[in-house]
Amino acid sequence: MLADLEELVSCESFSDDHAAVARSGQVVAAQGRRLLGASPRTLNIEGVTHVQWTFGTPRILLLGHHDTVWPIGSLKTHPWSVEQGIARGPGVFDMKAGLVQMFHALASLPSLDGLCVLVTGDEETGSATSRALIEDVARQCSATLVLEPSAPGGALKTSRKGVSLYDITVHGRAAHSGLEPEKGVNAATELAHQLLALGGVADTVIASTGPGTSVTPTLMKAGTSNNTVPARAALSVDVRVPNAAAQEAVDQFIRALEPRIPGARVAVEGGPNRPPLSPDASAELFALATEQAVRLGLGPLRQAAVGGASDGNYTAGVGCPTLDGLGAVGDGAHADHEHVVTATMPARARLLAQLVGALR
């Protein structure tokens, strides 16, 4: 398993580098071909490489991704290593160890009939090219098992917040900031008004739909030079919501933003990206997984609700029961301390194999 993990980690697969993702897709395909005994279908959608195996009529979807947030060259600063039972390297936790565990789990089964294995190449950037594929397969299945990394301590992820992403653009009017600033319409100042308005969105939504909503301004830019009244300003906003009602309420509020400065114009693009994964979508699968863990002597499993989203949000959104966080145990997704506890990998693979067997 560690040899396979080293192979995947050593093939960098930054989401925005489609050539790198294509190379990674070849490695994933070869590894799966060796362990599953079948060649995959490799799909290139708008330049992004996805890898899919289908055995018979799909009833269970095993879902993962091979792209990472780590830019090409990260191996130089975060090299592959295994020391004192800790594996490190770009993407080792999120989520290449999960792919290795999945392949080895399935390799132990006497039959793969009824399974679909889908490894996408753009999860980290929102799954724009793979969403339709994921949802189409999930609609055919009675369960989706997501090999994303676990929550702290190995807990499975039984609830995920929904995600909405917005780009707010303010259009003003340029003017010389020293000679005649009064002739301009300052887009930066108008954007500041919009920032203040956004500051109250989460509190308003929480009051009507319950706790758990966050509205976070992220990227911001304004102006072209230090002696010009900015004619344009832009803001990106990341929204996390616990339920569909909150997602709709935030959407209505943001789309209703109005300019405060005469002559300014506010344009809103974007909207809901991933629906929430509710606890109801995971309850029965988590109970079944817990039974299998006890049978294997792994003890009762723990569950967690998390703010981050995954492609499991999509499968749950189309009504397919979904259990997430079945992948690696470790910590540090997207961070310098990203790592996997290697001793847990065989046990997690056995749990997945047992769970798939119980579902069939």
Catalytic residues: 67, 123
Alpha helix stretches (DSSP H) within the chain: 2-10, 18-36, 74-77, 97-107, 131-140, 187-198, 201-209, 244-255, 279-295, 312-317, 345-359
CA distance 198 to 203: 10
Residue 157: CA atoms inside 13 Å, Cβ hemisphere, count? 28
CA distance 137 to 142: 10
The CA dihedral of 286, 320, 202, 128, to the nearest 10 degrees, is: 120
Q: How far apart are the first and last CA of the chain?
A: 25
Three-state secondary structure call for residue 54: strand
Which of 161, 265, 269 shows the shortest CA–CA distance to 205?
161
Integer Rg of the chain from CA: 23
Give residue 352's Cα distance to chain centre: 20
Name the DSSP class of 68: B
| Token representation of residue 295 | 């049978």
Give residue 165's Cα distance to chain centre: 13
CB-CB contact of 311 with 63 (8 Å): yes
Which of 226, 36, 6 shows the shortest CA–CA distance to 119?
36
| Token representation of residue 149 | 């990394």
CB-CB contact of 292 with 358 (8 Å): yes
Residue 171: CA atoms inside 13 Å, Cβ hemisphere, count? 4
Measured at the alpha carbon of residue 238, what is the angle toward residues 228 and 43, in degrees to the nearest 5? 110
